[in-house]
């Protein structure tokens, strides 16, 4: 168990002061803010662009062991379709819920803690967003993907074809039929 956490960077917009939420169970503060997205908030295929707006609607509530943060984070997602590689852009809302333990409480290494009367939302935000992102994002559920032969986007022309395929090992013999007819 770890009893000491790193000191938060108070300049970060995701570090919130908790002065208004006194250590008395039932004390509550509602917070609405727009903050810039931190770097690498996503996967290699889809994510929140760095610096884009994240709308936070939070409720900080004092409980016996710490401060319970709950609410939503509304983000803009940008990525690539896993079938046709086309761009995907849409807005999505993610639920946040994290308990930040007061100093002096015995906590596990992965537990969040109130440090110098602040809480850092970045880890909770990452957990809420990244874990809920689609593993294989699609531009449309019926996306046809790319032609396996030439890479043409089949959504643009579903009838796309290449005619009869000749096995490359027999391709040089294809002209023999024309020679025998003459």
Six-digit token string for 74:
């509304």
* Predicted pLDDT at 8: 63
* Predicted pLDDT at 2: 42
Residues paired with residue 153 on neighbouring β-strands, in sequence order: 146
Are the C-beta atoms of residues 11 and 46 closer than 8 Å to each other?
no
Residue identified by tokens 């790193």 is 6
pTM for the full predicted model: 0.75
Q: How far is CA 90 from CA 115, 137, 140, 173, in A?
A: 35, 11, 12, 53
Which one, of 48, 21, 28, lies nearest residue 117 by Cα? 21
Across the chain, mean pLDDT equals 85
* Predicted pLDDT at 92: 96
Are the C-beta atoms of residues 62 and 22 closer than 8 Å to each other?
yes
* Predicted pLDDT at 3: 40
* Predicted pLDDT at 72: 96
Six-digit token string for 144:
């046809």
Mean pLDDT split into 10-residue runs, the chain, 182 residues: 52 81 79 93 94 95 90 96 94 94 79 85 93 93 90 87 78 68 54
Residue identified by tokens 């333990």 is 101
The SS3 call for residue 152 is coil
Helices (H) and strands (E) in the chain, counts: 2, 9
């Amino acid at each position: 168990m770890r009893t000491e956490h790193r000191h938060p960077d108070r300049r970060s917009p995701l570090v919130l002061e908790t002065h208004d939420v006194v250590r008395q169970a039932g004390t509550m503060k509602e917070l609405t803010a727009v903050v810039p997205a931190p770097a690498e908030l996503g996967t290699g295929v889809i994510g929140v662009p760095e610096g884009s707006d994240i709308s936070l609607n939070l409720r900080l509530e004092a409980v016996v062991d710490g401060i319970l943060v709950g609410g939503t984070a509304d983000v803009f997602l940008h990525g690539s379709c896993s079938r046709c590689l086309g761009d995907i852009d849409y807005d999505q809302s993610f639920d946040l819920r994290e308990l930040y333990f007061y100093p002096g409480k015995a906590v596990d290494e992965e537990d969040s803690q109130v440090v110098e009367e602040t809480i850092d939302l970045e880890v909770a935000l990452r957990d809420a967003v990244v874990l809920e992102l689609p593993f294989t994002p699609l531009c449309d559920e019926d996306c046809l993907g790319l032609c396996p032969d030439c890479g043409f986007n089949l959504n643009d022309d579903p009838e796309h074809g290449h005619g009869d395929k000749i096995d490359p090992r027999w391709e040089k013999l294809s002209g023999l039929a024309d020679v025998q007819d003459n």
